[in-house]
Structure 1
Amino acid sequence: MLLDLIGQAERFIYIENQFTTREEIARALNKQLKAKPDLEVLIVSSYDPKGLFETEAFWASRLAFKDIVEDGVDTDRIKMTYSSIRDQQGCLAYKRIHSKVMTIDDRFLVIGSSNLSNRSMTLDTEVDVVMFGDTDSNRKCIAFTRDDLIAEHTGRDIETTEAIMGGNHVVNELMNNQIAHGYVLTEINDEEFTEASKANIFRTISDPEEPLIPPVKGLGGKLTAITNPRRRTIMITVGLAVLACIVGLLLFVSNTVPWLDGDRISAFLEESRGTYFALPTVLLVYLIGGLLFFPVTVLSLAVAAIFGPIWGPIYGIFGALLSAGTTFLIGKGLGNAGLRKLAGPKVEAVDKKLANTGIVGVATIRMLPIAPFSLVNLVAGISSISLMQFLMGTFLGMFPQMIAKGLVGDSIMQIFKQPSAETVTYLVIGLVVWIAMIVGSQKLAKMYQARKQSDNAEDSEKKESEQCIA
């Protein structure tokens, strides 16, 4: 259907589509551009890809689509673009296109569910409606719909856009003299994200031309098609498999590597006491322990027991910050690679809480023993909180604990070396302080959350009042 419509174009084709990867469509556009010297084509799509699968399956294929469309044609007549807006502070936001629209001059308007992709054209079930401009009134409606969409994407009003569409060199005129700090069309540059690839594993999974699994014969000999798994299902399966491998590796290491236990770590730290290598040794232990999800409390008590109630907490907080920052950056990398989208609403909920509470929120999480140290770091990295906020919150939440653990750890060491009523008293005091800090932090967290909710409710009521007045 689309090939037939493209073959009837005389002056202007407008395409607004989420994905443009189907090379058969690209060849049809190129053929018609060569056959009709007055024909121009404007394509509007998304730009900033979401995750590795989308990048390699659709953006890499779009590079090939663009090359085919432009082959042997004046590029002023064909533009593949995206719409974005930049505010006065320089922040840029890309418009995410999900629509599937095409106009052929003012004669045909297509609105439907099909992308210009392999799976939409050959595999998936799609529904498209074609509206035919068989009267002057219908043709005006088609032209208005097209011009209204282009006006939105270029930040113009409909009258200005209609005037441009009625002139010559339409595509160039649309791309030029767009309003600053409004929506603008920009030619795509997908080389920023990937390189051209006609066949890869991501395209095979996300944009296939045929089912991944062939039909299966039933008992009656009837062929039953097995639908392709959704990309989210594949990504979750791959993620679980990778996670299982990591957990298995950590369990193997913890059960086979002789130095990965509390006693040997303590002995390793003990050898560095009183030397210039004390702090580097502590940092190394915290870094490796964090990567292997070793309990940070065990490390903190061991450091306090060996280096005392003063230097123990100081060394411990430096080690904890290094470990937290490292695993935070690992989480940030995983999030940028698509884990944020894969995890969906759960990460978004954590992200929202961290964004609303900032440094205080991170400090509160650190005070409450609700999740493993390294896991909190990874989740925070996936969120949008900054590294500096995260480290400051970690410091405020952990340093008081380090002092309490310093008392406890040092007291345990003294009890082993020289048991007495005094050392036992110090141990009891340290434990009481530690428990009191946990209980107190929980109450403070609840009070802060209640106050935050109250402030948000008041802000909402104020906004509603202002809207009613307006």
Structure 2
Amino acid sequence: MLDWLGSSELIVWLASPLGAVLFVPLYAIWVTLLLPGIWASMLAGVLYGTWWGSLIVFVGASLGAEAAFLLGRYGIRDWSRRRLVGFPRLLAIERAVSREGFKLVLLTRLSPAFPFSLLNLAYGLSEVSLRDYNLGLIGIIPGTILFCALGALAGDVARFGDVLSGETSPAGWALRVVGILATVAVVWLVGRAARRALEAESNQLEC
């Protein structure tokens, strides 16, 4: 599975139990720095598999989201607002979430249309409570599982020769592909439902 990333000592070490523990704060720092988490999530899938990778990413993402939220609220408000000027949808969310709280936080977390890291800053600028913000993090679970599953699958694709030679069960590999497709379908359906709910919410706010 590590062939996809090369055989560097760092990658091998990250795949160890101690490396998995370290991956959590590293992911948190990654999110706090407003870097896109997709590739880091896929890396977790390659290193730890779909389910352990998803757990590690969720914990790391939650810690990073908490740090970014607190920075946006108490530390770098002026910088955060300047950073979001180029994202009018996020500024609109910032204004609306103060009124709707948990409901809107959850919907925007479920929708893939909103970048995770920048959302953390937008929420920090809003008046949403820390409790609602933290509860809304459950909305990142479907996307987390999807990207970790894609990473785990990519690791297997890199070893496709093993499948052809019989070292890996073709039936097992096919089952993983079906699982990925099912996960994609679920995330797409949830995201579409979230977008519709957000549009309805936006129309109500404009009235």
Same fold by TM (over 0.5)? yes
Runs of 5+ unmatched residues, structure 1: 1-261, 461-470
Larger radius of gyration between Structure 1 and Structure 2: 1
Show the counterpart of 2:134: 391
Cα 1:340/1:451, change in 2 over 3 Å: closer
Say if 1:328 and 1:377, in contact at 8 Å, map to a contact too.
yes
SS in 2 for 1:412: helix
Show the counterpart of 1:319: 60
Shift of 1:283: 1.8
Which letter maps to 1:327? A
For 1:3-402, list aligned pairs within 5 A. Answer: 263=5, 268-279=10-21, 281-332=22-73, 333-335=75-77, 349-394=92-137, 396-402=138-144
Shift of 1:435: 4.2
Say if 2:149 and 2:180, in contact at 8 Å, map to a contact too.
yes
- Provide Cα deviations, 1:81-140, integer angstroms capped at 9, x if missing partner: xxxxxxxxxxxxxxxxxxxxxxxxxxxxxxxxxxxxxxxxxxxxxxxxxxxxxxxxxxxx
CA root-mean-square deviation: 3.4
Show the counterpart of 1:408: 150
Q: Percent identity?
A: 23
SS in 2 for 1:295: coil
Cα 1:348/1:289, change in 2 over 3 Å: closer
SS in 2 for 1:385: coil
Once residues 412 and 441 of structure 1 are traced to their aligned partners in structure 2, the CA distance between those partners, rounded to angstroms, is 23
Shift of 1:302: 0.8
TM-score (norm 2): 0.73
Of Structure 1 and Structure 2, the greater helix share is in 2
Runs of 5+ unmatched residues, structure 2: 164-169
Cα 1:365/1:302, change in 2 over 3 Å: same
SS in 1 for 2:69: helix
Matched, 1:442 2:183: no
Say if 1:309 and 1:406, in contact at 8 Å, map to a contact too.
yes
Cα 1:311/1:295, change in 2 over 3 Å: same
Once residues 176 and 148 of structure 2 are traced to their aligned partners in structure 1, the CA distance between those partners, rounded to angstroms, is 11
Of Structure 1 and Structure 2, the greater strand share is in 1
Say if 1:358 and 1:385, in contact at 8 Å, map to a contact too.
yes
Cα 1:444/1:365, change in 2 over 3 Å: closer
Which letter maps to 1:393? G
Show the counterpart of 1:13: none
Cα 1:399/1:341, change in 2 over 3 Å: closer
Show the counterpart of 1:225: none
Once residues 446 and 299 of structure 1 are traced to their aligned partners in structure 2, the CA distance between those partners, rounded to angstroms, is 29
- Provide Cα deviations, 1:257-289, integer angstroms capped at 9, x if missing partner: xxxxx958x96354133424422x112321332
Once residues 416 and 326 of structure 1 are traced to their aligned partners in structure 2, the CA distance between those partners, rounded to angstroms, is 35
Cα 1:296/1:340, change in 2 over 3 Å: closer
Cα 1:361/1:268, change in 2 over 3 Å: farther
Once residues 286 and 317 of structure 1 are traced to their aligned partners in structure 2, the CA distance between those partners, rounded to angstroms, is 9
Shift of 1:341: 9.9
Shift of 1:316: 0.8
Cα 1:291/1:339, change in 2 over 3 Å: closer
Once residues 285 and 331 of structure 1 are traced to their aligned partners in structure 2, the CA distance between those partners, rounded to angstroms, is 20
Say if 1:412 and 1:427, in contact at 8 Å, map to a contact too.
no
TM-score (norm 1): 0.35
Once residues 52 and 106 of structure 2 are traced to their aligned partners in structure 1, the CA distance between those partners, rounded to angstroms, is 22
User: What count of residue pairs does the alignment treat as equivalent?
Assistant: 191
